[in-house]
Each structure stands twice: as structure tokens, then as C-alpha cells.
Amino acid sequence: MIILVLSVAQKTLESFKEVTEQVVSRGFLWTVALSTLFAFYTVCHLIYNLGISPLRAYPGPKLWAVSSIPYGICILRGRSHIKILSLHNRYGPVVRVGPNELSFNSPQAFQDIYGFRPGKQQLAKDPKLYASKLNGVRDSIAGYLDNEAHTRQRRLLSHAFSDKCLREQEDVIISFVDFLILRLRERTTGNADRKSKEDIKSWFNFITFDITGDLMFGETFDCLKDSKLHPWISLIFATLKGITFLTVMNQFSILRKLQDILLPEYLREQMMKHFNLSAQKADRRLERGINRPDFMSAILKHGLSDDKERFIEDQPIMSRAEIHANSVFITIAGSETSASLLTGCVYYLCKNPTTMMDLCNEVRSAFSEEKDITSTQCIRLKYLNAVIEESLRLYPPLVTNLPRLVRQGGDVVDGYVVPAGITVSTHHYASYHAEANFALPEEFIPERWLGTDKRFCEDKRDVLQPFSLGPRNCLGKKYVLTHPSTPVGQFNPRD
């Protein structure tokens, strides 16, 4: 009996071993097959991108030519603008920065990619960058890919940023600037116990968010009053981080389909919380009507549609969904950009005391009292405007690019023939710091914008387009430039 049991057990083990060997053998074969297939695909991919692709002749690092991974890593590290600058300094005015992407840095490239194109269709926004949607629809002016839809919304929003509206809002802006100066003097003057070192970048964030909150929602965030950022504003920075993650993932078809899984949950929650709070603030402002000189009154000039999903085609008024989405966009674009410009401007002035004194002398000779310093008056000061231009060059609010997609039939950018389906763009920081565009590109010298210094007679000043150009240029350009002129004019140290 025992012998029989052992015999059965032995046969069972032998059968199990045989099955296991077959499974392992088949698994090994599958592994070999998949590895071979992957290797074959990789070789074909390399051969195509380096030897067959219509971009094969464009200069650039070989690794970037075969994969979008290096560029994506630079974006996530926040160093893409530095890397793109180094590539242009090495390879010239056009660089291949991806398997299907080219970067340019010349004035003509800005015009060809973003400018008005009489008789030719505008280049399309690259959907890989603008595909993410917070409220289920692409309703903000920055999110529309379709040019006609963008034109319609731009027309409706233009009232909010007209010269007339900006003049009406100037008293609001001046009141916040006065409060900023008061708060800084309270914290930095007086007895020794009250003196403190202040992070001016934070204070510029305080004032720009307070102003934007007042003009967009009819309620300030009280950042200047409380000397700290409102908790809601921290959600904005989380949103910007989330948008960066989404932008990189959109470069890869597989990752694009897995966004819901790969985007960190805390970022997704912060982004949605920020959108929902913005929508609630916008709704509260809508209830107050139009009897106030702010963005919302101008937006509501022609009325409001309660269509919560999407606008009705060609409807001459904005939907509630569009107002919600634009509230998010304008809050970010109208505050962080101005704060960045102010921070860069004051930083470079402090690093260049001679320039600071030249600016102070101009301001003091133009104004006898601080209350006379307004954006309307400051716009006439040549040296102040040169300081702001130079600050925009060295420290642009947008340092990266705005990708466009070449349409069917191809196009010509800066004299280079570019086939259809290729992404093209100019990188702001890389263009403004390029040795090919500016003499002494890393030095803060406002005189280059006055035309009085022969060292800069060959500077390509028309390459400076911090608000882009053409039919999709920044609608709030004058608004952003209104912020710095008044506070910078008042930031002049007394003897």
C-alpha cells in the first residue's frame, strides 16, 4: 500500500514538473518574443527619427530627437527655459527639441508663428498643451482651440480690459499701492524692535492678488491687511503644479490616457477645490450686478446666459460656465504675472544702484508728491518704461513657450520649411537671453531701450514679445503693465 502511494506521488510530481517546465518555457518564449518586438520597434523608431523623419536635418541633441522624455524631465524640474537657452546658444536659431517639435528664437519666428497672417490661416494651438479641462468643458479664453470660438470670447472679454475700464479702475489700484507702501513702512521703520527684513516677493503677491480679487470678484483677499496669502491662493499654486504635470503627460499618448490614475490625488483635489471656490466667488459677484467699475461689470455689459454647460453658438453674451472658467484664468494670469514682473524689476534695481538712482531722479523730477504718481502719468516717463522693458526681458512672467501646430500643407517659419503636424514655438526666456538677439544679454541695462547707447544698436528689440502677438496675444497686456508702473514709481529711496 505504501509503495502504491509513493508511486502515485512520484508520478504526480513528475507531471507537475512537466507542466511547470512547459509554462516556464512558454513564458520564456513570450518574454523573448516581447523583448524582440520591443527591440525591433526601438530600432525602427531610432532609424525613422534620425534618418527618415522630415526633421532629421534640423540641429539638436540626438536624444531629444528620438524621445520627448528629456524635455519632459526639464519641464518637471522647472529648468526647461535654461536648457532651451543653452541649446539655442549651441545650435542656432532653430533647434529640434522633440521627435516632432522645433524651437525658434528670432523676431521673424515670433511673427510667423503667432502674428497676423493675411491670406493664411492661423497656426493651431497644440492640443497636447491645452487639452486639460477643469469643469468638463474648455470654456476659458486660454482653453479654446478653435479660432472662431476664441474670437467670439475675446470680443466679449475685451470690454473688461479697454482703456476706459482701466482708467475707471485706476483709483482702486492706487488705493492698494498706497496701502502696500503704508504696510511696508509700518514694518520697516520706527523703533528697532519693530524693524524687520521683508520678503518683497511675498508683498508683491499680496498686492496683486488683492487687486485681482477686488476687480474680478468684488472682494479682496485681505493679503495686505493680514500680511499673508489667503489660504485659497495656495490652491492656485497647486493648480499651476497640476497643470505642469498634465502638460508633460499630454506629450505621451499612453500617459495621456492614464491621467486620472497618474496625477497625484492631492493635486487633483486642490485643482478642483480651487475651481469650485472660484466659481462660488464668481457667482456671488454676479448677484451684485454691474454697478461697479471692475472686470465683471464689463463682462456682463451685454448680459449673461445661464447655460451651465456651454455657450450657444454665436451667442453675443457669456455663459455662466464661461465666466467660471475665465475667473480661474484671469485670477492666475492677472496676479502672478504682475507679481513676477514687480519682483524681477525691484530685484534688478537693487542689484544696480546706479540704475536705481537714475530712476529715482526721473521720478522725483516729474512728481513733487507721491499722490501724483499714477499709471497714467508714469507711462510718460521714458526711463521708467525702459526699466520695465528690461525687467520683462530678463525676468519675463512667462519663461517657456506657447506651442502651435503646423496645419495641413506645411508652413514656413523664419525661412525654414516645416511640414504639417509639427509643433513649433518660441521660448520667451531663451529668446530674450540669446546672445544672437541682445548684446550683453545677462546684464540689466535699461539704456538699451532708449536708443542712446551704441553698444545696443544691433539688438533685435522686436524679439521681446512677453504678451505674445497677433490675434491671440494677451488681452490683459495693459492691465499687467498698469500694476508695476505705480509701485515701482513709488519705490524710490529718499536720502
* Residue 474 assigned ligand-binding role: yes
Q: How far apart are the first and last CA of the chain?
A: 112
- Packed helices 353-366 and 382-394: angle between N→C axes, nearest 10 degrees: 140
How many residues are given for the chain? 495
Q: How far apart are CA 86 and CA 94, in angstroms?
A: 12
Q: Measuring CA to CA, which residue among 222, 214, 490, 219 is closest to residue 363?
A: 490
Q: Which residues contact 100 (CB under 8 A, 6 or more apart)?
A: 53, 55, 421, 422, 423
CA atoms within 13 A on the CB side of 50: 12
184 is written with which cell numbers?
A: 511696508
Cβ burial, residue 9 (10 Å; 0-12/13-18/19+) = exposed
Strands 423-426 and 416-418: unpaired
Strands 416-418 and 411-413: antiparallel
475 is written with which cell numbers?
A: 488681452
Q: How far apart are CA 4 and CA 67, in angstroms?
A: 64
170 touches 359 (CB < 8 A): no
117-120: long-range pairs with CB below 8 Å, 24+: 117/470
The residue assigned the cell 498643451 is: 129
Q: Which residues are annotated as a binding site for heme?
A: 474
Q: Which residues are annotated as a binding site?
A: 474
